[in-house]
Amino acid sequence: MTVPKKLVLIGNGMAGVRAIEHLLKLAPDTYEITIFGAEPHPNYNRIMLSTVLAGSTELKDIIINDWDWYKDNNITLHTNQAIKKIDTQRKVVITESGMEASYDEVVIATGSKPFMLPIPGADKEGVIAFRDIQDCEKMFSAAKSYKKATVIGAGLLGLEAARGLLNLGMEVTVIHKHPYIMERQLDEAASLMLRKELESQGMKFLLSKHSASITGRGRVKELQFTDGSHLATDLIVMAVGIRPNVDLAKSSGIDYNNGILVDDFMNTNIPHVSALGECVEHRGVAYGLVAPLYEQGAVLAKRLAGVETAGYAGSVTSTKLKVSGVDVFSAGRFVETEGSRALRIQDDMAGTYKKIVIRNGKLIGAVLFGDTADGASLFASIKSGESIEGREKELLLGISSDLLGKSGGSASRLENMPDDEIVCGCNGVTKGAIGDAVLNKGCNTFGELKACTKASASCGGCKADVEGLLHFYAGDAVGESAKEGICGCTSLSRDEIVEQIQSMRLMTVKEVMHVLDWNNKEGCSKCRPSLNYYLGMLFPEDYVDEKESRFTNERYHANIQKDGTYSVVPRIYGGVTTPADLIKIASVAEKFNVPLVKFTGGQRLDLFGVKKEDLPKMWEELEMASGHAYGKTLRTVKTCVGNTFCRFGTQDAMAMGIKMEKAFERLNAPAKFKLAVSGCPRNCAEATIKDLGVVAIDGAWEIHVGGNAGVKVRACDLLTTVKTEEEVMEWTSAYLQYYRETGQWNERTAHWIDRVGLDTVKKALEKQEDRLALVERVQKALSVTTDPWKEIVDNDELRKNFEPIAGPLPV
């Protein structure tokens, strides 16, 4: 039996792991593979970091290969382990912590490092890059405490960072040394259109500006420019470019220039040492786009597997992006020079722009803005180098070309596309890989094809081409994609599941998954919590809450922080407290060495840095109800002082807010919800951007619903106006119960209102008998709830869950 050779991959990023994926297909038993990654995460899609920052996806959604993938392929993965040196004589890699691993073949895929401007003050707190998950976490943290952000660099990365910071509620100014933005991907006309769109979204720009220094005591306070002007700021994100990471080459005697020097087969000057990705320089070029890196990985995998390959000859690159919701495409040499000519078409009303650049009868470059449907066909023409004489206007207008037109011409284009052309740039999926999945693996629906190849699984910009290739290869055998349910474990929708639970009176999460024929019999992190909620909502008096189907924060009744400690938030009704409660909180915080006590936006005190094992004892000594700052339940009822003290107040806002908070605390819902009561239309409690807000007017109360002050701000809609406090409670109770019964799991009221419509809600609540029936059901649900901390304080068995455990905390 042949003993596998030892292969060590240095770098757990997209390029290196993609090469390993190819190698496993070509020669699955040839190597014993070990991977070293400097970050604590499995392989993730760095291209999608901007979506994490923007709040539209979570970290788990951008993972390419999860922990199980490494186990399933017998790969040893070392995270948080940066390699310090390769001893090429002993054929050993050495980590910064002193660990050693021997190799027969080693692959360097250390990527690139963000370039930080070498200006005075660049080392201050609050000056960061935007390159990895840790940078995202720093921006999340800064947005909680600070207001003004500055992004230096108006390239793709800088604009994505700026959009994310806007979504986090910060005021964002983008600094750029050039007179127009994204000059590497766009010409001036398209750049101006993009800038106008971004300014309408709230982004500010200072162009033709050169940074001179950063000032502030400890933390950044101002950015100074070479022209003498300055800008006040709390956070600076430098997005001014990347540099190949050649540190390992320097320490290991490997040749490098701007990047690690490699030949067409990704060999370095040292035998058995290969390199690929953003860290390398090939024929004088270092690439920063994913498609060339995946092409390099395919060549390297073939060489390591002993499969004949023509080698890597370099790449003609194109860029197709979505910048803050705007589609942008560019390819080739899109700036006209002497000897070339350009054709343009621009529609300011539709917000679209198209430009093609021609030299010697051939298409050499293109820019598209707003509508990028023709991007792939134009890129194919640029790469082919064919003559387009006589068809220039057809290309510009996107009409009637057998090769490049739309509709029927699109099929011809896909048919003529070479098998090695990358269709999905985010995940490096070629036409050939899609064809193989359809013809040899039975993937005859779009959903199956996406699951098998990952094509269109990230940004979705290639979906039309992927669907076109599916029809090209499968023909009449194309099947309908399976109906998508609440998660991948089932094809059933929320309404279908609730109906089945109710009609068959299913009483446990396991029973629901078994009877309704779940694909994954254990469920997942999406369906288990939702089923737990639906069962509790339908059968409040009979269903026993399943703690293991709740998230960590809900199980421990505190918010886990990034360092593994927790934050504790006692209930402070309506933001009104007493000296005795303040003394109690201060005493407990002092006793348990709480490092930070902070007022929250919901008029409460948050105790940060609490050890897990201290949680039960801490709550026992506080003797206060939990503020449920972690649950899908009522968080806070924010109030102003109303007519108790304010000369503008028309009603007692504090009393109304406290009454509401005491009435609805512990009420489980599809998602968290926040209430507020303002004592007059001046609205100091910000009631009109809450899930439900009550605003006092002369002799009456307005009830506003469906607001959200989060990532996407939504102002409330007026539900009704009532005369008495009793009517406020009746309408609020009925509204919340209707939301509980019809909302989808994890759906905030703002999204729920947009989905079902305000008129539907009004109609459901317009008759008092219907409202009273809903009130009765919400009271039944509330009657069986108790503060969870009373159970834990009094139950020795439950308290064991909070004892210290070995290893990382579950999240």
Phi, psi of 332 (to 5 degrees): 65, -150
Q: Which two tokens stand for residue 78?
A: 């070392």
Contact status, residue 571 vs residue 664, Cβ threshold 8 Å: no
pTM for the structure as a whole: 0.58
The residue assigned the tokens 């370039």 is 115
Query: Which amino acid, one-letter code, is at 185?
Result: Q
Instruction: Give the Å distances, CA to CA, from 699 to 117, 310, 499.
Output: 61, 83, 43
CATH 3.50.50.60 intervals, the chain: 5-112+244-305, 127-240
pLDDT tier at 409, thresholds 50, 70, 90: very low
- d(C-alpha 571, C-alpha 604), whole Å: 7
Q: Is residue 459 marked as binding?
A: no
Give the start-end residues of each E strand in 590-691: 596-599, 605-610, 634-639, 673-678
- d(C-alpha 609, C-alpha 233), whole Å: 28
pLDDT at 1: 58
| Cβ count near 557 (within 10 Å) | 25
pLDDT at 805: 36
Contact status, residue 229 vs residue 200, Cβ threshold 8 Å: no
| Cβ count near 21 (within 10 Å) | 20
DSSP secondary-structure letter at 59?
A: G
- d(C-alpha 639, C-alpha 576), whole Å: 9
280: pLDDT strictly greater than 60: yes
pLDDT tier at 414, thresholds 50, 70, 90: confident
The half-sphere exposure of 423 on its side-chain side, counting CA atoms within 13 A, is: 30
Per-residue pLDDT tens over the stretch 291-346: 889 889 999 999 999 999 999 999 877 777 666 667 888 888 888 888 999 999 99
- d(C-alpha 180, C-alpha 187), whole Å: 9
Q: Is residue 646 marked as binding?
A: yes
560 membership: H or E segment, kind and range: strand 559-560
Q: Is residue 640 marked as binding?
A: yes
pLDDT tier at 799, thresholds 50, 70, 90: low
Q: Which two tokens stand for residue 676?
A: 């507020």
Q: Which two tokens stand for residue 156?
A: 């793709």
> In terms of CATH, what superfamily is 5-112+244-305?
FAD/NAD(P)-binding domain (3.50.50.60)
63: which strand partners? 44
- d(C-alpha 669, C-alpha 647), whole Å: 37
Per-residue pLDDT tens over the stretch 348-370: 877 889 999 999 999 999 999 98
Give the start-end residues of each E strand in 395-503: 422-424, 429-430
Helix axes 431-440 and 463-474, enclosed angle (nearest 10)? 40
H runs (alpha helix) in 81-236? 133-145, 156-167, 188-200
Considering 50-59, 282-291, 403-412, the range whose residues carry the highest mean pLDDT is 282-291
Beta strands 273-275 and 422-424, pairing class? unpaired
377 vs 67, which has greater pLDDT? 67
Contact status, residue 105 vs residue 30, Cβ threshold 8 Å: no
- Helix (H) and strand (E) counts in the chain: 27, 36
Could you tell me which residues come within 8 angstroms of residue 511 by beta carbon, excluding any fewer than 6 positions away? none
491 vs 211, which has greater pLDDT? 211
Q: Is residue 684 marked as binding?
A: yes
Per-residue pLDDT tens over the stretch 117-128: 999 999 999 999
Our CA angle for 647, 650, 656, nearest 5°, is 115
Q: Which two tokens stand for residue 191?
A: 């750049």
| Cβ count near 72 (within 10 Å) | 10
Q: What is the average pLDDT across 524-549? A: 87
| Cβ count near 686 (within 10 Å) | 16
CATH 3.30.413.10 intervals, the chain: 631-786
CATH T-level topology, domain 127-240: FAD/NAD(P)-binding domain (3.50.50)
pLDDT at 455: 81
By CB atoms closer than 10 A (0-12, 13-18, 19+), residue 808 is exposed
Q: Which two tokens stand for residue 374?
A: 């023709």
Q: Which two tokens stand for residue 720?
A: 């009704």
Could you tell me which residues come within 8 angstroms of residue 205 by beta carbon, excluding any fewer than 6 positions away? 154, 173, 174, 176, 181, 195, 198, 199
- d(C-alpha 677, C-alpha 673), whole Å: 14
Give the rounded percent of residues in the chain with a pLDDT score beyond 90. Answer: 52
CATH number belonging to domain 631-786: 3.30.413.10
Contact status, residue 426 vs residue 459, Cβ threshold 8 Å: yes
- d(C-alpha 774, C-alpha 779), whole Å: 9
357: which strand partners? 342, 365
Contact status, residue 8 vs residue 32, Cβ threshold 8 Å: no
By CB atoms closer than 10 A (0-12, 13-18, 19+), residue 242 is middle
Beta strands 566-568 and 559-560, pairing class? antiparallel
CA 756 to chain centre: 26
Tell me the average pLDDT of the chain.
Answer: 87
Task: Output Rg (C-alpha) for the chain, integer angstroms.
Answer: 30
Give the rounded percent of residues in the chain with a pLDDT score beyond 70. Answer: 92
Contact status, residue 279 vs residue 13, Cβ threshold 8 Å: no
Query: Which amino acid, one-letter code, is at 23?
Result: L
Beta strands 605-610 and 566-568, pairing class? antiparallel
Contact status, residue 725 vs residue 748, Cβ threshold 8 Å: no
| Cβ count near 709 (within 10 Å) | 16
